[in-house]
Structure 1
Amino acid sequence: MKKKLASLTLLVLSFFANAQNGTVPSTEPYNDKSAYDKWSVELNGGLNNPMRTMTPGYYTTGLNPFHADLGVRYMFSPKFGFKLDFGYDQFKDGGNSPEFDSKYLRTSLQGVINLGRALNFETWTNTFGLLLHGGFGAAQISSKDGLDGEDYLAHGILGLTGQIKLSNSVALTGDLTGIVNTLQDFNFDGMAKTRTATLDGVLLNASVGLTFYLGKNKVHADWVGEDDKYDSLEKRVALIESGALDSDKDGVADIYDLEPNSIAGVTVNTKGQSIDNNQNGVPDELESYLEKTYGQKSEGIATNTTVEQLINDGYVNVYFDFNSTKPTNASLSGIDFLVKYLKNNPNKTADVVGYADEIGSSSYNIELSRKRAEAVKQVAINAGIDASRLNVVANGEDTSVNKKSKEARQIVRRVSFKVK
């Protein structure tokens, strides 16, 4: 009998190892492993009832304490998984039965079907779930006062587990499980040998417990329904759509763009980076334009005076939408231009000058222009410029354009720079 148990245990462990290491094909449309947790630990306690294979004259109470089990479960998908669990049952005399005290230990490998997900419970509840589990394993019966030795046997197991979700980490469970044994020599009471053949003792377990979900994700596979799948798909589509945008209009989609705020009109490489062969911080095309426009050249590059004049004359700006303190994506290149200049000229400082259009009160627009300048300063600080090199100036309203023109007002909602 011990050889049979050893062979059966080896088979169980081998099957479990293959289930963990092998590739399991999935028909689930939602198979993003990073989207939900897969591991859980189950702890239960309750009652048992040995239905048959008791020695004549020996019996327990109708519902006999004590039962406990501990399981570790892994879900391959929201609908299917495996678990390995260990169970303990104690049988003691009840009523007018002669005294006896025996124990039943088992380990079982079980498949798990998430009926809650298969039946789309999420269409009416996000709190209740239902699991069907079943498999096979090995067990041992030992008796304190009865037959000498221990009985080793095999079993099949089938159960139903109700779930109440308490949080994203814990669920309350109630379980009803039936176990059918084979190769059983001892009765459950351990006082005599069984007389049945092939299928022997039948045991029922009723228990309540807790399931603890393991992992860093927000939700476990037990609670991932069709709505979650569609939400994830929508997020993926949104990511593709946003990644296909070209914020700086350089011909390279943002998802592939390593410099998504390159200066408008400047030639970039296939990765969206401005071409700067001499690594002086000024794109070659802009450098060539400066040389032609200002006619100042020193060792093949535009002089600092020329670049500084370009900044101070208002050619480098950062723009904002109406009543917004967040720079538009297209104008982030203005901050980038200033950052590169200050990094190449560590002795220079700059005023960050904020403006607003004429819509609204003057006091409000002064504060709005200050907030815009502060926002640009913070971006530059995050890009590596020391805060002490940047001075915020709130210039309030720019009245140089027709306030009735929407397009003209867009031009004056800006931050400009004065390099010193």
Structure 2
Amino acid sequence: MKKVMLTLVFAAAITTISAQNKTEENNKLDFNKWSVELSGGFNKPQRPMSEGYFTSTPSPYVADLGVRYMFNNKFGLKADFGYNSFTGKNNSLDFDTKYYRADIQAVANLGRIMNFETWTNTIGLLGHAGFGLAQLEDQNSALKDRMGNFIAGVTGQIKLSNRLVLTGDFTTILNTNQNIAFDAASTANTRGFGGILFNGTVGLTVYLGKNAKHADWIVDNGGEIDALKKRIADIETSMLDTDKDGVADYLDEEPNTVSGVMVNTKGKSIDLNNNNIPDELESYLVKTYGKDQSKTTPDNNELIKNLINGDYVCTYFDYNKTTPTNVSTEGIDFILNYLRKNPSSSVEIIGHADELGRSAYNDKLSNDRAVNVKNTLIKAGINESRLKVVGAGEDTSVDKDSDAARKLVRKVTFRVK
């Protein structure tokens, strides 16, 4: 008996250490670990049975109470206590014996190991095995037989809620050093695992804890499923065409193209003279604010204001420069024409810089760019009171590591007031 106890303790210790070492990361997940299991059903003692003694197939009764702790969503331990009643049936000689046992078992969540979550979220499967002690008692005498046992079985699960699960279990128990038959009518004197008992039960498992789910139903595949879901969501998002130019956002190098402007296969508006103003928009602006400004209507004027405030008219700068590039000075000309046509309007001149360099320096650089444009407009005859400089500092809306993207944020934009 001492050897059996030592074996039991050793097996439990090894299981615990192994589970803890393998699942240190999973322990960080928020899930309930404790549960209480209650079940009842039928049994069939297979051997040893005395000649002329037998039970019905199956025969009542079995009762089982267990407490389980899961280290993670795949492995755990449980302690359980069982009761079996054996009585003679039909043509058997009469007998009445009781069987009591206590076991510690390792538990494997086969449903998670075999990825049941790929086809169901309500059906689970547990495997369990361990060692324990048992006692067989004859109710018609004072005869008692103490023995060790090895127990193994599988438990099917149907999740009723996050707190309650319906279970069905089939378990095999092997007794060692069983000295009397299950009917207590003869001696067995078996030194090895000579006693065999089958149990089939139906029961309920109640999950304990403050979290929403128990470890039995937590899915953890090293973040792979979450990563795949995120990738799918990103793809769905990237397939959107926010600016409705016919090019999906993930391919669109100019995601905010003005509506109706022709774009190339990369979603960029057509700009043959490379002055950073779409040719169709530029053509419209020239017609509206060209030499013959008498044709401008109030409706057209409001549209132009919206286009300017939408950053479709800009002035761009080279890296670390405060002087506009040659091809982008036309943006200043458009603003100049607008202010001349609308003497009651004023404008904010907003300077921007990319993220390279120190933030304090970029703040000054963005302000100096706006000041340069302001001075150009003053020299062209615009009253200084109508011009306000704003240093917006670094523009972090684009990829810092992309040279092409950084070119788009080294600019001055305008806000008509």
Q: Are 1:188 and 2:179 matched, yes or no? A: no
- Aligned residue in 1 for 2:144: 150
Q: Does the CA-based 8 Å contact 1:88-1:105 persist in structure 2?
A: yes
Aligned with 2:94: secondary structure? coil
- In the other structure, the counterpart of 1:78 is 73
Distance 1:209 1:408 in 2: 74
How many Å separate the matches in 2 of 1:29 and 1:406? 56
Deviation, structure 1 residue 226 = 3.6
Contact 2:19 2:76 in 1 (8 A): no
User: How far is the alpha carbon of 1:194 from its aligned partner?
Assistant: 1.1
Deviation at 1:157, TM superposition (A): 0.9
Which one is further off, 7-16 or 94-103? Answer: 7-16
The amino acid of 2:85's aligned partner reads: Q
The structural deviation recorded for 1:196 is 4.1
Which of 40, 56, 72 is equivalent to 2:51? 56
* 1:244-259 pair list within 5 angstroms: none
Deviations 1:287-342 (A, max 9, x none): xxxxxxxxxxxxxxxxxxxxxxxxxxxxxxxxxxxxxxxxxxxxxxxxxxxxxxxx
The structural deviation recorded for 1:38 is 0.9
How many residue pairs get matched? 235
Give the letter aligned to residue 109 of structure 1: I
Deviation readout 1:17-74 (Å, 9 max, x if unpaired)? 7866x68544348514451111111111000000110111111111110001111111
Residue number in structure 2 paired with 1:116: 111
Equivalent residue for 1:136? 131
Query: In the alignment, is residue 206 of structure 1 matched against residue 206 of structure 2?
Result: no
Give secondary structure in 1 for the equivalent of 2:26. Answer: coil
Q: Distance in 2 between matches of 1:159 and 1:233?
A: 35
- Per-residue displacement from partner, 1:95-127 (whole Å, max 9, x unpaired)? 011211001111111111111000111011100
Q: Which sections of structure 2, spanning at least 5 residues, go unmatched? A: 230-412
Q: 1:57 to 1:35 in 2, by over 3 A?
A: same
CA contact (8 A) 2:61 2:86 kept: yes
Mapped to 2, the partners of 1:14 and 1:121 lie a distance apart of: 32
| Equivalent residue runs for 1:9-408 within 5 Å | 9=5, 12=8, 16=12, 24-28=19-23, 30-146=25-141, 148-194=142-188, 196-226=190-220, 229=223
Deviation at 1:406, TM superposition (A): 11
- Asked whether the equivalents of residues 12 and 105 of structure 2 are also in contact (C-alpha less than 8 Å), the reply is no
Q: Is the 8 A contact 2:134 2:146 kept in 1?
A: yes
Q: Is the 2:124–2:158 contact (alpha carbons within 8 Å) kept by the matching residues of 1?
A: yes
Q: What secondary structure does 1:122 align onto?
A: helix
Q: What secondary structure does 2:167 align onto?
A: strand
Per the alignment, do residues 229 and 66 of structure 1 end up closer, same or farther by CA in structure 2, a change over 3 Å counting? farther
CA–CA separation in structure 1 for the residues paired with 2:23 and 2:36: 24
Q: What SS does the aligned partner of 2:135 have?
A: strand
Task: Name the SS of the counterpart of 1:77 in structure 2.
Answer: coil
Shift of the 95–217 alpha-carbon distance from structure 1 to 2, 3 Å rule, reads same
Structure 1's consecutive aligned runs of 4 or more residues displaced over 3 angstroms after TM superposition are 6-20, 22-30, 226-235, 405-409
- One-letter amino acid matched to 1:145: N
Matched position secondary structure for 2:117: helix
- What CA distance in whole angstroms lies between the structure 2 residues aligned with 1:81 and 1:30? 15
Task: Please state how far the C-alpha of 1:12 moved relative to its aligned partner.
Answer: 3.6
Q: Partner of 2:47: helix, strand, or coil?
A: coil
Letter in 2 for 1:191: A
Say if 1:139 and 1:152, in contact at 8 Å, map to a contact too: yes
What is the alpha-carbon distance in structure 2 between the residues aligned to residue 15 and residue 95 of structure 1?
Answer: 42
When the two structures are superposed, what TM-score results if normalisation uses the length of structure 2?
Answer: 0.51
The percent identity for this pair of structures is 46
Contact 1:120 1:226 in 2 (8 A): no
Residue 111 of structure 2 aligns to a residue whose secondary structure is helix
Do the aligned partners of residues 120 and 18 (structure 1) sit closer, same or farther apart at CA in structure 2, a change above 3 Å counting?
Answer: closer
Residues 1:228 and 1:43: Cα distance change in structure 2 (over 3 Å): farther
Please say if residues 55 and 87 of structure 2, whose CA atoms lie closer than 8 Å, have aligned partners that are also in contact.
yes
RMSD over aligned CA atoms reads 3.0
Q: Is the 8 A contact 1:34 1:217 kept in 2?
A: no
C-alpha contact 2:74 2:110 (8 A) present in aligned 1? yes
Gap regions ≥5 residues in structure 1: 236-404, 410-420
Q: CA 1:123–1:144 in 2, change beyond 3 Å: closer, same or farther?
A: same
Letter in 1 for 2:121: N
Task: Give the superposition deviation at 1:193.
Answer: 0.9
Give the direction of change, closer, same or farther, for the CA distance of 1:36–1:233 in structure 2 (3 Å limit): farther
TM-superposed deviation, 1:149: 2.9
